[in-house]
Amino acid sequence: MSRVGKHPVAVPAGVQVALAGRRLSVKGKRGETALDLTELVDAKVEGALVTISPRDTSDPARMMWGTTRALVANMVRGVDAGFAKTMEINGTGYRAAVNGRKLVMNLGYSHDVVYAIPDGITITCEKPTSIKVEGVDKRLVGQVCAEIRAWRPPEPYKGKGVKFEGEQIRRKEGKKK
């Protein structure tokens, strides 16, 4: 039995949830998202609660029960409060700036790295060494952060590279004489 799936999703004030056939759409102050439900689960919208239930007792249906409930909870939280991740850039001369719908980063290569910001994502750089990624979709925010980090992951000797705020990098001892 799914421990996550049996808890209903509470819908805060200002968020509207609509179920049309197999499509669940959520609308709030930050935007709107939609989810196509699989044939293995059912959803019910009752007042300020969204309840997900499996259609049968098969293993795939029970797996999708918890997964769908988590996706709906993330959609509700995303349109209400949004998701944000902050990244730090460490290294001499490493910096980033937003230029229109592009993130321009100098990461020690012979050229600047230009990253096109996808729709639904907002990137800001308060400082040249700080990147803040915000959006409604939790998966998309994480994917954008992973793509930015992949350009220069932190290295273990000096800690240079792009890392998440608060992330601990395992350091190695350098060469000895």
Domains and CATH numbers, the chain: 9-80 (3.90.930.12), 83-164 (3.90.930.12)
pLDDT tens for each residue of 124-159: 999 999 999 999 999 999 999 999 999 999 999 998
Q: How would you classify residue 130: left for phi > 0, otherwise alpha for psi between -120 and 50, otherwise beta?
A: beta
pLDDT tens for each residue of 7-37: 999 999 999 999 998 999 999 999 899 999 9
Residue 52 CB contacts under 8 Å (≥ 6 apart), including other chains: 5, 8, 9, 41, 42, 43, 65, 68, 69, 72
Within a 13 Å sphere around the CA of 80, how many CA atoms are in the beta-carbon half?
14
Supply the pLDDT for residue 85. 96
How many CB atoms lie under 10 A from the CB of residue 54? Answer: 20
Supply the pLDDT for residue 6. 87
Mean pLDDT of 66-71: 93
Supply the pLDDT for residue 177. 79
3 versus 124: the higher-pLDDT residue is 124
Supply the pLDDT for residue 1. 56
CA–CA dist 109, 146 (Å, integer):
19
**H or E stretch covering 89:** strand 83-90
Q: Examine the pLDDT at 45 and tell me if it is beyond 60.
A: yes
pLDDT tens for each residue of 77-105: 999 999 999 999 999 999 999 999 999 99
Supply the pLDDT for residue 3. 80
